[in-house]
């Protein structure tokens, strides 16, 4: 919405939320999320044509186009628990829109939702309107990547808009096309029917997750055979039919989308009786969970089959660099497993604060209070590594590439083990300095 406000200064863009603290943060100098370049865009448009408010009803009533961007978490209970999307926030938003709307409204799905949700939204809207309002429902899924979201918006690969084939549906699609067309070339504006658009978002994330799980499965084979997964990925990615993107082996993918959307796709396939298809996609998530467990198992085996009482320094807690988002971060599971092995864990991340780290571990089942003596969040990587038996890199922050490795080696216990889950540190340099390095997809025997 901030980018639309920036690129379309004649349009009034209102971001509405019932959460007063969140809106207060959006109206302050300390935005509630970290995303490179976002501060400048918000600062430019806020107060001109970008407004953040808690008056949700007034925002709906005064708008011609309403973007529904509420959360769609995975159901925690009932039918489809652990896989299906929980659409309670979508439904409550649709009911509120129906209640306060007048005239004609274009309602745009921005949330990631199962196929056919537009039908449910349309039914709720038309069944609950009190003022003779009319509605068109569009699907406009988001394909941003955290850490590069501003550039992804400024120069997108594509903008996808799905709508009804009726005359009013085509008019609604064209209205949204016209907004994006202010700065996005028309050949990147893809229009489809509603169901294709809704499904495309799930499939796009599933394909990306699949590539990561595929290369991670090969990383295990490389470690067993003495091959180097980076060399294999480079050779495979040189094939123009495959390409090099998302072929970087790691400790596992995280974030709010991949796991949730793949599981949503699994549930959708099961709902239509496509058991074999569901099993295929479920394995993408299975490999990702296995990769995280395998990383810790490698640490245990390498550190003489016990971590009890040993100090393990963890560098990086966000699920990827250039974001403070920790949702489904591999670091959560790795740290949980390390603590379960009775290790002492010290954690450093340049953007994730201590309260978030402790809360994430608590929600993962760690009794943070009970383990106070074995869990420490540090303000810099050197204090985390001091006296450590091993160092584990779990986020590919650029600053980790510039670490003073001799200083770290000097401060660690010997042998000084390094487990690089993101292939950030220079392997040969680590060996030269006297570390015992392990990098995902590279044999310990090399």
What is the token pair recorded at 128? 């609950």
Q: With beta carbons less than 8 A apart as the criterion, state whether 387 and 311 touch.
A: yes
> Which one, of 377, 369, 376, lies nearest residue 352 by Cα?
377
CA 422 from chain centre, in angstroms, equals: 16
What tokens appear for 209 in the block? 């997750």
Both tokens of 99, joined, read 């209640």
Angle value at C-alpha 400, between 398 and 404, nearest 5 degrees = 130
DSSP string covering 117-158: HHHHHHHHHHHH-SS--EEEEEE------TTSHHHHHHS-S-
Angstrom distance (rounded) from CA 360 to CA 334 = 12
Q: Which residues contact 176 (CB under 8 A, 6 or more apart)?
A: 65, 106, 108, 138, 140, 161
Q: Cα–Cα distances in Å, from 357 out to 10, 48, 75, 339, 421?
A: 42, 37, 23, 14, 19
The dihedral sign for the CA sequence 323, 251, 440, 409: positive
CA-angle at 162, arms to 156 and 165, nearest 5°: 145
- Cα torsion angle, 332, 335, 340, 345, sign: negative
Close Cβ partners of 387 (under 8 Å, ≥ 6 residues apart): 311, 411, 412, 413
Known catalytic residue at 269? no
Q: What are phi and psi of 115, to 5 degrees?
A: -60, 140
What DSSP designation does 184 have? S
Query: Considering 8, 222, 257, 378, which one is annotated as catalytic?
Result: 257
Q: Distance between CA 233 and CA 217 in Å, rounded?
A: 12
- Residues catalogued as catalytic: 257
């Amino acid at each position: 919405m901030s980018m639309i406000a920036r690129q379309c200064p004649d349009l009034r863009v209102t971001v509405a939320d019932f959460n007063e603290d969140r809106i207060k943060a959006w109206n302050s100098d300390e935005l509630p999320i970290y995303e490179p370049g976002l501060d400048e865009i918000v600062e430019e448009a806020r107060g001109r044509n970008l407004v953040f408010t808690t008056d949700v009803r007034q925002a709906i009533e005064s708008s011609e186009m309403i973007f529904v961007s509420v959360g769609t978490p995975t159901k925690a209970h009932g039918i489809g628990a652990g896989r299906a999307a929980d659409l309670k926030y979508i439904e409550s938003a649709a009911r509120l829109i129906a209640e306060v709307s007048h005239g004609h409204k274009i309602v745009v799905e921005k949330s990631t939702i199962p196929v056919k949700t537009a039908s449910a939204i349309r039914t709720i809207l038309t069944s609950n309107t009190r003022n003779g309002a009319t509605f068109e429902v569009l699907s406009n899924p988001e394909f941003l990547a955290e850490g590069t979201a501003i550039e992804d918006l400024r120069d997108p690969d594509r903008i996808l808009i799905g709508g009804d084939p009726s005359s009013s549906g085509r008019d609604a699609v064209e209205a949204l096309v016209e907004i994006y067309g202010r700065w996005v070339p028309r050949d990147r504006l893809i229009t489809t029917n509603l169901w294709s658009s809704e499904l495309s978002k799930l499939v796009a994330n599933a394909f990306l997750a699949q590539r990561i799980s595929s290369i991670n499965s090969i990383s295990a084979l490389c470690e067993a055979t003495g091959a180097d997964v980076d060399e294999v990925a480079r050779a495979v990615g040189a094939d123009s039919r495959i390409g090099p993107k998302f072929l970087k082996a790691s400790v596992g993918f995280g974030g709010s989308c991949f796991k949730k959307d793949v599981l949503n796709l699994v549930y959708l396939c099961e709902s239509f009786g496509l058991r074999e298809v569901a099993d295929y996609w479920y394995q993408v998530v299975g490999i990702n969970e296995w990769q995280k467990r395998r990383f810790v198992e490698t640490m245990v085996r390498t550190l003489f089959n016990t971590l009890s009482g040993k100090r393990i320094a963890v560098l990086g807690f966000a699920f990827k660099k250039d974001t403070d988002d920790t949702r489904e971060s591999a670091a959560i599971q790795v740290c949980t497993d390390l603590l379960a092995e009775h290790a002492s864990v010290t954690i450093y991340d340049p953007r994730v604060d201590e309260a978030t780290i402790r809360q994430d571990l608590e929600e993962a089942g760690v009794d943070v209070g009970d383990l106070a003596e074995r869990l420490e969040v540090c303000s810099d990587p050197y204090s985390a590594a001091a006296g450590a038996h091993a160092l584990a890199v779990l986020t590919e922050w650029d600053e980790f590439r510039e670490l003073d490795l001799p200083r770290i080696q000097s401060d660690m216990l010997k042998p000084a083990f390094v487990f690089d889950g993101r292939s950030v540190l220079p392997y040969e340099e680590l060996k030269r300095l006297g570390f015992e390095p392990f990098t995902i997809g590279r044999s310990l025997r090399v």
